[in-house]
A and B are shown apart, each in its own frame.
Chain A
């Protein structure tokens, strides 16, 4: 069978493919006597990837001097081929440059500034390829960067690795209108092409080599006939002119009558096809050693004085080609430039697009020549497209499904068998750009596939992560258990361990005595977390009571007292926040006290304001970051408070929305007065402070117990460090060193308070951990101290926004008004503070304004995003 097929082919039998069209050829205008070499230009843009396959890595950098033919990239991947420097010069840029792709999306490109010398690297010809192994020749082809020059840019060496090849088809068909690059090549370089084919034949060992040329190129046929006349194995076959006979599948069908099955390469049928241009490049690479840095490009179109074919270096900007050919656009802005043929090519976005390995033609047509696409009309179901389709598809059905985005149905109709030849669009009487629809559909489908793949990946990663978390949790639990058991055992078996605990307890107690705290609860030292909770609870209760019994004024006073008296203690601030939170909750329970609660929250925040360290701020990034961190946390807290209790939220919002109304203004004024009072009181009131820090100290004690149990050293160290930091940062701290230390301790243990008890217990069992935490806490506390006022303000603003989002998320104007009000109120309060306490500095004030503006902008942006 195969034998008879071989006979048939040899005897000149031709088959036909279905469909096909006969577009106007317009080839004659670019046919000239010879092919000139384009003069050098100044800049060359070499895209890093010019083939189908994978990216290669750069092996040069900006500033490097390169020589003509030097490889710019390398890769060990089989599907990658390098690109080479088209001339000698300097690499001045490696970056994005408009791509020779229909989209024009910039791609990574090496820009070479030519030095005009065109110095070449030393070439290593392998003209005695018959004596060399096939592997080394294939490697040489790969290193010469040879890809299919016909259009698709498939790496040539990959095709040459095929086995059991019967037919090697050389494609000199060139069926697209306008293009004459292959024609000119065959006319002028027939011998070289045949040499190239010999290399391929040596690699593939086919039974027959068929060089196919359309019958509209008699000169080329004659030239090749002449070159092949003493080659038994080579046949030059003239085939009828019909578009798209040059398509690989169509050509195979015409020459062998075989149809390439879907999804498999022609090599599966024992057929390999190569373009004549590729054969010439192979000749160059093997016989002269020169890599692929040059190709024939047709420059044509009626807007050129001298349409012609030129040898253009890869990377030459299209503009240079056009200028060489006498480019005279009618209207430079409306001028259309087409890369490739009119059937399968695309419009260029810029004349700076470089020539690549697969650029065969540049057309600069007049408006008449290739007029803009006429408006698309409705499909009249004439089925002309189906008759023209060389792949026997149903273009009109594909069009329906593609435009309706029913991609699965389009795929069922073999969308991916479409070779995008454009024959259907060419015949369509309704001027429907059918191919574009298919391309779009294909792109969408490919994208969906990529996304599907990514989703798979994400799922795997998600599951792996879930598993990992589960394992970690188990491991942690097991560790806890083991540690607890070990401790127990040690306690029971080793009396000295008990001594140690006792010693630790003693140390703790000593410390507490130092702290002028006598109400040490012995339970605390052993059951830390419980004690902590109890203290929290007790404090909460006490505060709740206070909130109920005291008037709002008194309460705010107390708050302010606390703040003022130890106005550097951020632990206190945290507790305050907790208080505020609790109060907000309370407010919901006792509706009557809502305004008070609100006033308290505001008061507390404003107090933080008053505490502010007006020290000149270093504008380090770190600080800014911490600032934002703090602001965000406070904002969140505020939001959380609201989230926790919608009733309270509604009430608070109500209060804020009526900022101008009396009660609120009053409360603001009150807050200001209170602050002033607090300041005064702070100077004398040591007792109130002691009282207020009581709970605090208790907590500290509890924490210290843990620390003492695990590693007293780390704790002491952190405390000392904190003290030093504090002393440095705070010249205002004239209070007793003891109080200082106390607060620092509170600070150090604060994050633990915030964290889950169980976790902190564990963390404390590791010395280094404790240290790190303490340091983190110090950093935090420091930042907080320095930035607290800004934060409070941001908080105000953000709070307003948050509240607003909560109640009426759709009303932007209202939200803005709320922010404005919040701002106004803050400024008012500030002013009053200034008057009453006169501690604020003017420039500080303005700085704050800038900051609050930034904060509001941020909050706004965030809210809008959220909407």
Chain B
């Protein structure tokens, strides 16, 4: 028995996709010219699928801080946070994030994936319940699978579906509700106020994953909880450095008085090496810069609205009615057309994410665009033009409104 036999169906499915000149799982960026342009196979390509929302990957202060940390602290910590892997930079970064949120505690993880994995698996004990949205990110599902709690799932962004289920749970049991603020595939926003208020009505502890909203939602860029004025209803906020912050890593902030004990029980925090000093330094500089990036935030939202309006006017079907986030998802009729569209668009010099079922909700076949604050207005219009040209080359029937 070959252990790989179980993947045969997947291998067959993947090889049935009609890629000729490019493969979405094998894109290589040979040169990265800026936050928004890279060289792929010799072609200058506009990056419109990198989650680099605030364009912080080339932030001067972040780069300078990283270089200094490299010189002073070396390339890596070679150790866990609970052994030799905590440098002054790690403590400084945790303080920077806690201050940014105005919260008492912060724990930095090596990725956002591990932050969710660790928080959910550790908080949800064997007698507890973890209540999640059906469209949750893989890191949330995996945190559930790793822990021992009973997992309850409600319909995506459906307050009534959540409340019905909360009503059925024992009143005295420990309950953790986990929701995201902006969902990464369609860019749809959660009705956070209603969800969190309902969770609180049933005595639940709450965790909000702000991976796709930190940096540009809210006046200070803390996320959708800030924007909606519901930070007091979130007991834990999880975030990542891999999107708006422009590097790698994850964090959780909280006011819980016993929060620090997690450092001794949270396995995805303890049993892996801590972030390298250069990453810690650039994350610290980047978050400080994000806090005062009001103009950049405004430009990002302008870009998102402009692209949404342009594609809508051209007749494309979009996953959200309005630009509710910098994620603009274009819906195509079937996986075959999506495959061809993605490939042609890349050859036309625009990189976006292709997302197909089962990775997408409701069976959507998506060209997922993530807009960057450093995209110029000209680049946004160019992306729209190349979408239109690609549709024409494929003879796709999109009707201008």
Q: Do A and B come from one complex?
A: no
B interface residues (Cβ-Cβ under 8 A, vs A): none
